[in-house]
A = this chain, B = another copy of it.
Amino acid sequence: MPTSSEPLAPWRSPLARALHRNRSLLYSRYLQLATVTPDGLPACRTVVFRGFREGTNQLQVITDRRSQKIQHIAHQPKAEVCWYFPKTREQFRLAGHLLVVDKDNCDPNLQAARSHLWQTISDAARSQFASPPPDQPWEPNQPVIPASPDTLMPLDTFCLVLLLPDRVDHLELRGNPQTRHHYTYDPHNGWAALAINP
């Protein structure tokens, strides 16, 4: 598993290019996170890319501790994200280990990353972490959501989730023939790249 002073992975450059070329579309930072439920069934939802953790190849997303994906990750920490870029017609699939950084995590660097993200999100996004529990039946008279929770200290429900990729698949649909590259990480040799059939 890559450490926190890791060199830039070879897929970072094509991914940075895709992010740049699709930057006019706000939703080009939305990707789909697939997990496995405790029953062994697939689950998939849209999440927002919150940048890489500084000095690493770890993708950051945020989630509510009460959301179902937290239970999925506790059962099976392996995940795959699928990231489609509409403008450049390319897809990245990144598979790896998920690490949930909640309020009880003792690593000061990870807590700093969690606090930093809390400070960068909007008031509306922060408010969601104080709202009634997700996935529960909606009731008409629920507690009022505080307009703006503390901007410095994350609420207990706020979690940072890190994806530590060990396999990346990059498919480019433009061009004839289409091209596809596969990157795999090995703890001894680092990242290796291979062109495969699309």
Which A residues fall within an 8 A CB radius of B? 25, 27, 30, 32-36, 40-46, 76, 78-82, 84, 86, 91, 93, 95, 124, 128, 131-138, 142, 145, 176-177, 179-180, 194-198
Contact = CB atoms under 8 A, between A and B. Distances in A.
How many copies of the polypeptide does the oligomer hold? 2
Nearest to A179: B138
Nearest to A145: B177
A32 to B, nearest CB: 4
A30 to B, nearest CB: 6
B42 A40 contact: no
A78 B134 contact: no
A15 B46 CA distance: 17
14 contacts: A32-B34, A33-B44, A34-B42, A34-B44, A34-B80, A42-B79, A44-B80, A45-B93, A131-B198, A132-B197, A134-B196, A137-B194, A137-B197, A145-B177
Given A124-B176, A128-B198, A132-B197, 18 more contacts: A25-B86, A27-B84, A27-B86, A32-B44, A34-B34, A34-B42, A34-B43, A36-B41, A41-B78, A42-B44, A44-B80, A44-B93, A45-B93, A46-B91, A134-B196, A136-B197, A137-B195, A138-B197
